[in-house]
Amino acid sequence: MTKVIDGINISQNLKDNLKKEISFLQSKHNKVPGLAVVQVGDVAASSVYVKAKTKSALEVGIEVIDHHLNSETNQNDLIKLIYKLNHQQNVNGILVQLPLPDHINEQVILDSIDPEKDADGFHPLNVGKLSISSKNDENLLLPCTPFGCLLMLKELNVNLEGKNAVIVGRSNIVGKPMAQLLLKESCTVTIAHSKTTELKKLCMSADILVAAIGKPEFIKGDWIKKNAIVIDVGINRVQKEINGELKNKLVGDIDFEEVKIKASAVTPVPGGVGPMTIACLLKNTTTSFKKNLLK
């Protein structure tokens, strides 16, 4: 029987452990981690994500310093705010909610964050540390979504060594760091993308398939090797007919109903990777806080 990997439960366990750790550190040092959340503009999806991240942070005992800027904020003013947060003692993690308005260069903004306060794990210095480290070190600030995917795989208690892993998607946020994390688990890793030839055949060879292509229900059941583990990173809003009515529904990059027939384990959407991303953001903030206590 196919196991549906419960990201809500796994993330809650991680948050419960963080809450206990933060409570202990507060009793010992009279301080708690601080997370600065910077949002520019009022994109509806961004507001939903920020609200969920803020709620989870407060639940585990992290102080949230909120900066909601209007959409006309220019790049220089945003950088000035980030530099201020870089030097603010009560800020251990900085999260700049993406996407940013078109007139702001996202990479310039991400590069301006102090790498030791890089809650998302996107700074080039942290990306470089991930690339050259010999093993997966949880003391590094790791990109949250790939890190969450890895933790879900670990929950299965499956030996990852030697497994053939295929990642569909080559983004800097998911595809590339996911490959690095799986390489350190001694998987044989292939990154596929829009120019890959015979993509279906390649997916059928995967013991572990990570779908991060951004196309709703793109990967079908007959693309899956029997008993493969499938991690669906996609979040797509589509219209579907339900009981004769067209309704909005969140779906992933895989056809869940088809894939779960073939896979040994699969993540759902929603309730899979999404909650893990938030939990790993909180873990990064706590990791940065602990490092700062040792200074």
pLDDT number for residue 134 = 79
Do 92 and 150 belong to one domain? Answer: no
**108-146 per-position pLDDT tens digit:** 999 999 999 999 999 999 999 999 987 878 789 999 999
Segments forming the whole domain that contains residue 79: 30-114
Tell me, yes or no, whether 8 lies in a domain: no
Tell me, yes or no, whether 148 lies in a domain: yes
Tell me, yes or no, whether 128 lies in a domain: no
Q: Is the distance from CB of 143 to CB of 121 less than 8 angstroms?
A: yes
Residue where a domain terminates, one of 114, 133, 155: 114
**155-164 per-position pLDDT tens digit:** 999 999 999 9
Tell me, yes or no, whether 9 lies in a domain: no
Do 183 and 102 belong to one domain? Answer: no
Do 39 and 153 belong to one domain? Answer: no
pTM exceeds 0.75 for this model: yes
Do 100 and 179 belong to one domain? Answer: no
pLDDT number for residue 290 = 96
Residue where a domain terminates, one of 73, 98, 114: 114
45 band by pLDDT with thresholds 50, 70 and 90? confident
Would you say residue 242 has pLDDT above 90? no
Specify the DSSP class assigned to residue 265: E
**211-222 per-position pLDDT tens digit:** 999 999 999 999
CB neighbour burial string for 103-128, b if at least 16 within 10 angstroms, e if fewer: ebeeeebbebbbbbbbbbbbbeebbe
**199-213 per-position pLDDT tens digit:** 999 999 999 999 999
Do 76 and 195 belong to one domain? Answer: no
Helical ranges in the chain per DSSP H: 7-29, 44-60, 75-86, 106-112, 124-132, 144-155, 175-184, 199-203, 256-262, 273-293
Do 69 and 149 belong to one domain? Answer: no
Least confident of 22-31, 89-98, 227-236, 238-247: 238-247
- The gap between the terminal CA atoms of the chain, to the nearest Å, is 50
The count of structural domains within the chain is 2
**How far lies 219's CA from each of 107, 204, 214, 270, in Å?**
30, 10, 11, 17
pLDDT number for residue 240 = 79
Q: Which residue has the higher pLDDT, 228 or 247?
A: 228
pLDDT number for residue 117 = 98
Which tokens hold the place of 94? Answer: 């900085």
Tell me, yes or no, whether 230 lies in a domain: yes
Tell me, yes or no, whether 287 lies in a domain: no
pLDDT number for residue 165 = 98
pLDDT number for residue 119 = 97
Any idea which residues carry the catalytic annotation?
53, 97, 120
| CATH assignment at residue 96 | 3.40.50.10860
pLDDT number for residue 247 = 82
One DSSP character per residue, 14-35 reads HHHHHHHHHHHHHHHHS---EE
Three-state SS at 156: coil
pLDDT number for residue 276 = 98
Do 209 and 265 belong to one domain? Answer: yes
Distance CA 272, CA 109 (A): 29
Do 180 and 59 belong to one domain? Answer: no
Would you say residue 241 has pLDDT above 80? no
Do 100 and 216 belong to one domain? Answer: no
Do 71 and 148 belong to one domain? Answer: no
Do 187 and 67 belong to one domain? Answer: no
Tell me, yes or no, whether 7 lies in a domain: no
Do 109 and 207 belong to one domain? Answer: no
How high is the mean pLDDT of the chain? 95
Distance CA 23, CA 28 (A): 9
pLDDT number for residue 239 = 85
Q: At what angle do helices 7-29 and 144-155 cross, to 10 degrees?
A: 110
| CATH assignment at residue 189 | 3.40.50.720
Tell me, yes or no, whether 106 lies in a domain: yes
Q: Which residue has the higher pLDDT, 39 or 240?
A: 39
**173-187 per-position pLDDT tens digit:** 999 999 999 999 999
| Torsion 51-53-58-63 (CA) sign | negative
**258-287 per-position pLDDT tens digit:** 999 999 999 999 999 999 999 999 999 999
pLDDT number for residue 113 = 98
pLDDT number for residue 244 = 78
